[in-house]
């Protein structure tokens, strides 16, 4: 059995530390005047981009398809916590195509900054690789203007039950914030792989045959939804903050996922060291366990 890296924090602690950071650090105000931007990011960076630019007539793309989406845009927004990995290549290509690009990052020394017209640096804590809790949450709060202290109060109200009898979780979130689905699913992939199953849907999505096969080991976690339409009452857990917006929802969901992590074997901590070595070779860049 691989040895666990016990120095690494769990995701719930990362949430607490991020919210404490935002109560002290100033989150920059961004000014992006593109009428129809191309918004590019990988993984949860792209989800953050969708949240930030959902109200604009935007084109969204990742590292695999952005070259096919350059028509009828008047600029690009590149989102990358590290400003490394795929982002320098993307920024360089966009510059070659004479597309004005703005970078949103958490790294003042971002490699991609060399190729962009302007870049904004958002505050972040040093966290285990892939967590990206403070990084993208700071960008989201930059848009929603939510008060991190208010979010922290709601997070601390959560009294997590004994989760050891569950091996799967079904998060029910409001339809208005459906974009957060992918963020939660990504966290389940990163922290648990195939060991623990996470599903995330709105109530409307759940109506479409998501609960045909039931399990006594699946906990339904309703966040911002007071319905008990799906799952047995004994397998329900409700989180109902006074107010809800994207930042609040992300923090509450991540915190609960961190509690799942805390009550299970250290799947992530046992494997992240091996993974960053492999990822460093894949990207041709040094990737650390803590970023």
Same domain membership, residue 121 and residue 43: yes
Decide if 92 is inside a domain: yes
Sheet arrangement for strand 236-239 = 197-201, 168-172, 218-223, 236-239
Tell me if 245 is assigned to some domain. yes
Residue 285 lies in a domain: no
Domain boundary among 81, 114, 142: 142
**Is the domain of 206 the same as that of 104?**
no
Question: Does 282 fall in a domain?
Answer: no
- Fill in the DSSP letter of residue 251: H
Residues of the chain with pLDDT under 50: 1
The answer to whether residues 100 and 157 belong to one domain is: no
Q: Residue 281 falls within a domain, yes or no?
A: no
Give the Cα separation of 136 and 173 in Å (integer): 19
In a domain, 2, yes or no: no
Tally of CB atoms within 10 A around 231 = 20
CATH of the domain at 163: 3.40.50.10490
Task: Verify that 101 and 179 share a domain, yes or no.
Answer: no
Q: Both 66 and 165 in a single domain?
A: no
Q: By C-alpha distance, which of 135, 156, 168 is closest to 264?
A: 168
Asked if residue 220 and residue 103 are part of one domain, the reply reads no
Distances (CA, A) of 80 to 32, 110, 158: 16, 9, 31
By the 8 A CB rule, do 46 and 40 touch?
A: yes
**Which structural domain range is residue 240 located in?**
146-267
Q: Are residue 158 and residue 59 in the same domain, yes or no?
A: no
Closest CA relative to residue 215, chosen from 270, 168, 146, 280: 168
Count of structural domains within the chain: 2
Token digits of residue 265:
């074997």
23-57 residue pLDDT tens: 999 999 988 999 999 999 999 999 999 999 999 99
CA angle 258, 156, 137 (to 5 degrees): 60
Buried b (16+ CB within 10 A) or exposed e, 116-142: beebbbbbbbebbbbbbbbbbbbbbbb
pLDDT for 226? 86
* Claim to verify: residue 128 and residue 67 sit in the same structural domain: yes
Asked if 131 and 191 sit in the same domain, the reply is no
Dihedrals phi, psi of 36, to nearest 5 degrees: -140, 80
Residue whose pair of structure tokens reads 């640096």 in the numeric block: 121
The reply to whether 55 and 100 lie within a common domain is yes
Look at residue 3 in the predicted model and tell me its pLDDT.
Answer: 63
Beta-carbon contacts of 1 under 8 Å, excluding residues fewer than 6 positions away, are 270
Instruction: Using only the alpha carbons of the chain, give its radius of gyration.
Output: 19
Which of 77, 108, 142 finishes a domain? 142
Chain centre distance of CA 55: 19
- Cα 3 to the chain's mean position, in Å? 27
Tell whether 163 and 49 lie within a shared domain. Answer: no
In terms of domains, do 73 and 189 share one?
no
Listed residues 74, 108, 142: the one ending a domain? 142
Is 124 part of a structural domain of the chain? yes
Which contacts of 40-43 are long-range, i.e. CB under 8 A and separated by 24 or more positions?
40/66, 40/76, 40/77, 40/78, 40/79, 40/90, 41/78, 41/79, 41/80, 42/80, 42/85, 42/86, 42/87, 43/186
What pLDDT is recorded for position 2? 63
Is residue 247 within 8 A of residue 151, CB to CB? The reply is yes
The pLDDT assigned to 227 comes to: 87
Residue 284 lies in a domain: no
Rounded to two decimals, what is the model's pTM?
Answer: 0.95
């Amino acid at each position: 059995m691989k040895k666990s890296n016990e120095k690494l924090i769990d995701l719930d602690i990362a949430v607490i530390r991020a919210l404490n950071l935002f109560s002290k650090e100033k989150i920059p105000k961004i000014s992006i005047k593109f009428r129809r931007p191309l918004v590019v990011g990988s993984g949860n960076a792209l989800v953050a981009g969708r949240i930030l630019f959902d109200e604009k007539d935007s084109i969204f793309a990742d590292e695999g398809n952005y070259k096919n989406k350059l028509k009828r845009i008047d600029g690009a927004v590149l989102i990358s916590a590290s400003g490394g990995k795929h982002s320098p290549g993307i920024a360089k290509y966009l510059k070659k195509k004479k597309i004005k690009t703005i970078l949103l990052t958490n790294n003042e020394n971002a490699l991609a900054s060399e190729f962009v017209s302007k870049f904004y640096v958002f505050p972040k804590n040093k966290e285990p690789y892939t967590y990206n809790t403070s990084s993208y949450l700071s960008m989201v709060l930059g848009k929603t203007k939510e008060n991190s202290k208010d979010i922290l109060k709601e997070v601390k109200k959560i009294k997590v039950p004994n989760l050891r009898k569950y091996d799967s979780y079904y998060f029910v979130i409001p339809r208005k914030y459906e974009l957060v689905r992918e963020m939660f699913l990504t966290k389940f992939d990163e922290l648990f792989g195939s060991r623990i199953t996470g599903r995330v849907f709105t109530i409307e999505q759940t109506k479409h045959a998501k609960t045909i096969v039931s399990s006594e080991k699946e906990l339904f976690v309703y966040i911002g939804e007071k319905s008990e339409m799906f799952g047995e009452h004994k397998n329900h857990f409700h989180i109902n903050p006074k107010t809800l917006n994207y930042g609040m929802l992300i923090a509450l969901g991540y915190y609960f996922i961190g509690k799942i992590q805390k009550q299970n074997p250290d799947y992530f901590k046992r494997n992240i060291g091996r993974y960053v070595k492999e990822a460093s070779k894949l990207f041709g860049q040094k990737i650390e366990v803590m970023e």
